[in-house]
Amino acid sequence: MSKNQEENVSNTSLEQDATKLDLSFKEHSIAEFFKKNKQMLGFYGKVRTLTMIVHEYVTNSLDACEETGTLPNIDVKIDELGNEYYEITVTDNGPGISKENVGKAFGKLLAGTKFHRLIQSRGQQGIGCSGCTMLSQMTTGKASKIITGRKEKKPISLEITIDPKTNEPKITNLKELEKNFVGTAVQAKFKGILYRDSEQGPLEYLKRTAIANPHAQLSFRDPQGQKTIFKRTHDKVPDLPKEIKPHPKGVTVDEIITMVKTTKARTVQSFIMNDFDRTGTKSIQEMKKIINFDLNKDPKKIVWDEAEEIVKAFKAIDFIAPSVDALRPIGEEQINKSLNSIIKPEFLTVLTRKPAVYAGGFPFQIEIAIAYGGESGKVTSDGKKMEIMRFANRVPLPFDAGNCALTHAVQSIDWKRYNIKDAENSPVTVFINFISVHIPYTGAGKQSVADEEEVLEEVRLALMNTGRRAGIYISHKKKEEENQLKRKMFYKYIPEIARALNSITKVNEEEIKSKMEKLVLEKLKLDEAKDAEEMKKLEEIMENDSKSSVNNENKKKGKKK
């Protein structure tokens, strides 16, 4: 074959390969994507998957109840149907879901009521319970059963699967029920999962949910039929947080391009004033000095470069920090009550910090508690260890601890400074609740928080403050224990020494005893006075530490301004 002929053959085969490639080009839906990548939704590991399913259903129930001002009663049941085969049933007394929306709620990935708003809620992606429907059908081939009822309407029951090709719900057996029921009940079967009564199991998950949601009543029945009830310790539903508009400091060019598509504003000026948090006539005046196009322009006609100019101007001028109306912390009193009722510690200190802002535009707040003694700490075969309970918007995060900013903040603390020696091996529970209008999760499985600088810093400051208080208590307690031991030892040996001295000196045994007791008492008093002096010094050091960290904080705030 000549060189030319050879080239022609190789060109033809290249063309054929390219055509083959073109023919193999296919689209796939988000449902098909997550079906293949269920680990991205946190569905991996048998025990973990079971807890994640409970987590998805329970967080939805809590969100729904809170949004309608209902004190939540949530019932979770797990039945073992076979080897690594379970049925999970979660029932709530929330507002129920309309006939029109129930299909999409449980049978369409990336659909829901929470994604497009800036408000503190547990769910934010629209992928939680629909992900469970998909997991159920892909492991058992079965549909998820839903019963849902709204006030003054007949409840309905239906079965849902997702068509993976279209990511659309398929509803079967839709019926109206002749009974009274307001709320939502979901029942679904899963294979390849495992129930364990462990730190990562559903019972511990619900216990932590109860701690962070003192207004909720949770009941749980495990596969052996064992029932546990976490009673509410507070009778008031948290006030509904207010939705806030995006803060100019946190917005990107791309977001502006998206926002202008749906804005009702007729000019860029009114778009800036009405569609953002903390903007007003003063900001417009300042922006006019920086921006090179007419702010009376129709916002829908904004091009990329102009949106870039707006973002640059937002960065250059000052705005008041974002509104914190969208945040609802649990509050020190409620954390105190629920930790005391569930963990029953010997000592407890709680702190709710003031709201702060991360990434320029997202308000957030940190709540910390340190519990010592009682049922605090993690029980291991090696004795009690420090336990870190992480929460985001009151939702427990039992997995991916190593990846999480909240864990990193705890690890960065030098506990020895606060007299908590060997913190890792102490009966201590550190409770951290991070609340925000948007939690910067590191993945769709929503189990760990990204290392945002401001979040890390706030958690550290809160830990230092509560760590100090815990340290003082623990040192007091240790000294007390040492003194008791000393007293016991001295008194144990006095009779023996008195007897021995009596046989050598012939002085009356009782007389020696009483003199020795007097001596010991004086020695102990001296020791106690010395300890009290040391404790005072320690408290002073800690107090100074606290002042200097507040000063550093103020300096930093000053710098930021």
Ligand X SMILES: Nc1ncnc2c1ncn2[C@@H]1O[C@H](COP(=O)(O)OP(=O)(O)OP(=O)(O)O)[C@@H](O)[C@H]1O
Interface residues toward ligand X, by CB under 6 A: 56, 60-61, 64, 92, 94, 97, 105, 112-114, 123-130, 184
The interface partner of residue 448, options being Mg ion, ligand X, none and the CB cut-off 5 to 8 Å by kind, is none
Q: Which is nearer to ligand X, 124 or 139 (CB)?
A: 124
Q: Which is nearer to ligand X, 131 or 345 (CB)?
A: 131
Q: Closest approach of Cβ 143 to ligand X, in Å?
A: 16
Query: Which of 284, 254, 396 shows the shortest CA–CA distance to 338?
Result: 396
Q: Closest approach of Cβ 94 to Mg ion, in Å?
A: 12
Angstrom distances, CA of residue 212 to CA of 169, 309, 338, 356: 33, 43, 8, 20
φ, ψ for residue 77 (rounded to 5)? Answer: -125, 135
Q: Which is nearer to Mg ion, 40 or 501 (CB)?
A: 40
The interface partner of residue 213, options being Mg ion, ligand X, none and the CB cut-off 5 to 8 Å by kind, is none
The interface partner of residue 130, options being Mg ion, ligand X, none and the CB cut-off 5 to 8 Å by kind, is ligand X
CA dihedral 473, 478, 481, 486 (to 10 degrees): -140
Helical H runs in 343-452? Answer: 405-411
The interface partner of residue 214, options being ligand X, Mg ion, none and the CB cut-off 5 to 8 Å by kind, is none
Question: Which residues, at least 6 apart from 307, have a Cβ–Cβ distance to it below 8 Å?
Answer: 253, 256, 257, 260
Angstrom distances, CA of residue 164 to CA of 107, 108, 127, 135, 172: 10, 9, 14, 11, 16
Q: Closest approach of Cβ 356 to ligand X, in Å?
A: 23
The interface partner of residue 297, options being ligand X, Mg ion, none and the CB cut-off 5 to 8 Å by kind, is none
Q: Which is nearer to ligand X, 171 or 520 (CB)?
A: 171
Distance between CA 345 and CA 200 in Å, rounded?
22
Q: Closest approach of Cβ 391 to Mg ion, in Å?
A: 16
Tokens of 460: 């550290």
Binding site for Mg ion (CB under 5 A): 60, 123, 128
Distance between CA 531 and CA 152 in Å, rounded?
68
Q: Closest approach of Cβ 169 to Mg ion, in Å?
A: 16
The interface partner of residue 483, options being Mg ion, ligand X, none and the CB cut-off 5 to 8 Å by kind, is none
Q: Closest approach of Cβ 187 to Mg ion, in Å?
A: 17
Q: Closest approach of Cβ 437 to ligand X, in Å?
A: 13
Grouping H, G, I as helix, E, B as strand and the rest as coil, residue 161 is: strand
Q: Which is nearer to ligand X, 56 or 222 (CB)?
A: 56
Residue 81 CB-half CA count within 13 A: 14
Grouping H, G, I as helix, E, B as strand and the rest as coil, residue 118 is: strand
Q: Which is nearer to ligand X, 128 or 329 (CB)?
A: 128
Q: Which is nearer to ligand X, 58 or 287 (CB)?
A: 58
Distance between CA 468 and CA 418 in Å, rounded?
5
In the bound state, the residue with its beta carbon closest to ligand X is 123
Q: Closest approach of Cβ 456 to ligand X, in Å?
A: 23
The interface partner of residue 127, options being Mg ion, ligand X, none and the CB cut-off 5 to 8 Å by kind, is ligand X
Q: Which is nearer to ligand X, 43 or 473 (CB)?
A: 43
Question: Exposure pattern of 131-144 as b/e (b: 16+ CB <10 Å)?
Answer: bbbbbbbbbbeebb
